[in-house]
Amino acid sequence: GIEHAVMHLLYARFFTKALRDLGLHGDDEPFKNLLTQGMVCKETVKCPEHGFLLPEEAEGGKCVHCGKPVETGAVEKMSKSKKNIVDPDRIIERYGADTTRLFSLFAAPPEKDLDWSEEGVEGCYRFLGRVWRLVEENRDKLSATPYAGAADGDLDREPLLKEIHRQTHKTIKKVTDDIGVRFHFNTALSSIMELVNALYQLLIQKADAWSGLDKKVFRESVEAVVILLSPFAPHMSEELWKRLGKNTPLYKTPWPGYDEGALVQHEVSLVVQINGKVRAKVSVPPDSSEEAVKEIVANDPGVMQWMQGKDLKKFVYVKNKLVSLVAA
């Protein structure tokens, strides 16, 4: 717990200052920063005859020793005395070390308590499966070299590719900041998951019509996913890196940089609701004024169709997100 960690840090500070006073070094403090991790918590399970039980000692809501119904208690910090603990070897044997690592980092910010959840572990296992299939099932599309800038083609004529390219570099920037500055590993993983979802959408929308530029942008994004995932799931990432044809081990590969120019968003998509139902989508420049958006929405064919014969009673604009029209 936090009190235990703080006491150990006090010992280290004491010895540092004592050695300083003896003239053996000139440092006043041994640490620049303190990040105290939250506790891992889980509900307790108790048998009226045998007391607290380990999770594997309660099957189907009954005690494996006497068959009596068990009582599920409150979620508390894991402790051997209350037996609300999970054997990591059992989780690793079933799901692998990478899934165990991933869930531990994804379930909560490091300074907050983590509620252990078998469903959460299963969800992380499924996500790693999606990343694996992203590489394994698209070998033909990953045969190209990664996108290397304007020399490979003009993304301005390919809005879908341009958005994937932008999201890739946005994800690199966020994961880099979340790991190296904020220590928020859970939000770093969330952004990687969003990029993976976007790549699966690209596969659906492109179907079998893949150009050389499509493959280059896809390859760049998939490589970014594998590298960014490697601190969290190093074993699978290293294997996928080899399957991408890389000869240099992933752990020796430099961390990717991001292109500031690619982060610039020239258009945002606004959802248009009419009387509470989504009826259209319009593209506008980022941070557009309400007057400009109102004009674009009024001239959109989809909106005009639904507004035919109706009067606009109310116009609500949430910047860069949505437009809500009330009509009668």
70-85 pLDDT, tens digit each: 999 999 999 999 999 9
CB 226 within 8 A of CB 240: yes
Instruction: Give the pLDDT confidence score for residue 265 in this predicted structure.
Output: 77
* Per-residue pLDDT reduced to its tens digit, 191-247: 999 999 999 999 999 988 899 999 999 999 999 999 999 999 999 999 999 999 999
Distance, CA of 8 to CA of 218 (rounded, Å): 48
* Per-residue pLDDT reduced to its tens digit, 139-192: 999 988 999 887 666 787 888 899 999 999 999 999 999 999 888 999 999 999
Instruction: Give the pLDDT confidence score for residue 146 in this predicted structure.
Output: 92
Predicted TM-score (pTM) of the model is 0.78
Query: Measuring CA to CA, which residue among 131, 141, 133, 140 is closest to residue 214?
Result: 141
CB 168 within 8 A of CB 224: yes
Distance, CA of 32 to CA of 168 (rounded, Å): 33
Here the tokens at position 212 are: 């050389």
Single-letter amino acid code for the residue at 26: G
Residue 69 scores a pLDDT above 80: yes
Residue 98 scores a pLDDT above 80: yes
* Per-residue pLDDT reduced to its tens digit, 26-51: 999 998 888 888 888 999 999 999 99
**Pairing of β 268-274 and β 322-327:** parallel
Residue 123 CB neighbours (<10 A)? 15
**Pairing of β 312-318 and β 277-284:** unpaired
